[in-house]
Amino acid sequence: MPSKSLGSFVPLVLCLATTALAADDGATVIVSAGPASMTQADVTRRLAALSSYQQGRYGTTPDEIKKRFANEVLVPELLFGEEAVRRKLDQSPAMVDKKREALREALDRNLREEVIAKQPVTPDDIKKYYEENKNRYETPKRVRVWRVQVEDEATAKDLIQQAKGADGTKRWSDFAREKSLDKATAQRNGDLGFVRADGTTDVPRVMVDKAVYAAVDKLTDGTILPQPLKEGDRFSVLWRRGSVEATRRTLEDESAAIRQILERRRIDTARQDLLTRLRKEHLTDLHPELLSNIDAQAYGPPKRDPKGLGRDDKGKPRLKRDGGAPRPASSD
């Protein structure tokens, strides 16, 4: 494009008659600046993106809103855009990167829309996923249990007595650390975590006999089992510390979330399939070994000044408007 002044190189045609906006032909050009133009469909789309509150900034009647929006927003937008092209700003590395990213995002949006339209998630798909992953949506009752194991019943009964009263928790803790035979839990008060009816717990690699759950399930929270429980050749003292009731999320409760999961999976698959195909068809050069020549530090966050002072491009401390040097940055 030849280099001319803005007034001479940009021919501007602005046609905003109500009849033009009301025309059936969406391809009718309403505003143009040089080779760039906006059709009735373009203007309609831009106006539709505004809320009623935003439209009210441009007038009180539909005609006034349309004319002012075009004159105050669209015309300057086209003029500045054309001037940027004249100055070849669209060829700058930063702008090229932005355009490439915008195209990637547009392609990804289009891909998602295509997948959802062509591979819709059906109620049967949702039900199947729910049934296959029911354990995620049905949580059984769990009981928090502290357990101390000893060799003889008399010692176990003695602990039951010691654990009563105001300092019972401390005496229990000391006893667990010093005498419990279950060394995996001794240092945490014999805490087994939340125990389920099948003997599994919330603590990794900790599993107990089902009899432990059965015994404490009859108690109320905060109660110690009155008699020691025989577990093999050991006697266990059990303290029910708390509980969580069973929960169940129904298929109806989880349908929306499952739909999102399945749609995301299909989109990820389609995205990966497209990328694989595009790599085969278009990727011609890739030299990862050359990345070693790039200083990654140059692209990281700026290094803090050792003295906590902001500095200009020449390395000199920046001064405040009042002429004083900035205060050192906070150490926290």
User: What is the predicted pLDDT for the residue at 46?
Assistant: 93
Residue 55 backbone dihedrals phi, psi, to 5 degrees: -65, -35
- The ranges of the chain with pLDDT < 70 are 1-25, 298-332
Residue-wise pLDDT for 127-162, tens only, equals: 999 999 998 898 999 999 999 999 999 999 999 999
DSSP at 7: H
User: What is the predicted pLDDT for the residue at 305?
Assistant: 56
User: What is the predicted pLDDT for the residue at 15?
Assistant: 41
Domain boundaries, the chain: 6-89, 141-245
CATH class of the region 141-245:
alpha beta
Taking the alpha carbons of 42, 46, 52, 56 in that order, is the dihedral positive or negative? Answer: negative
User: What is the predicted pLDDT for the residue at 9?
Assistant: 36
User: What is the predicted pLDDT for the residue at 304?
Assistant: 60
User: What is the predicted pLDDT for the residue at 63?
Assistant: 93
E strand or H helix at 176: helix 168-179
User: What is the predicted pLDDT for the residue at 60?
Assistant: 93
- For 266, the token pair is 């299909």
pTM, entire model: 0.59
User: What is the predicted pLDDT for the residue at 159?
Assistant: 93
The C-alpha atoms of residue 102 and residue 51 are separated, in whole angstroms, by 24
User: What is the predicted pLDDT for the residue at 317?
Assistant: 56
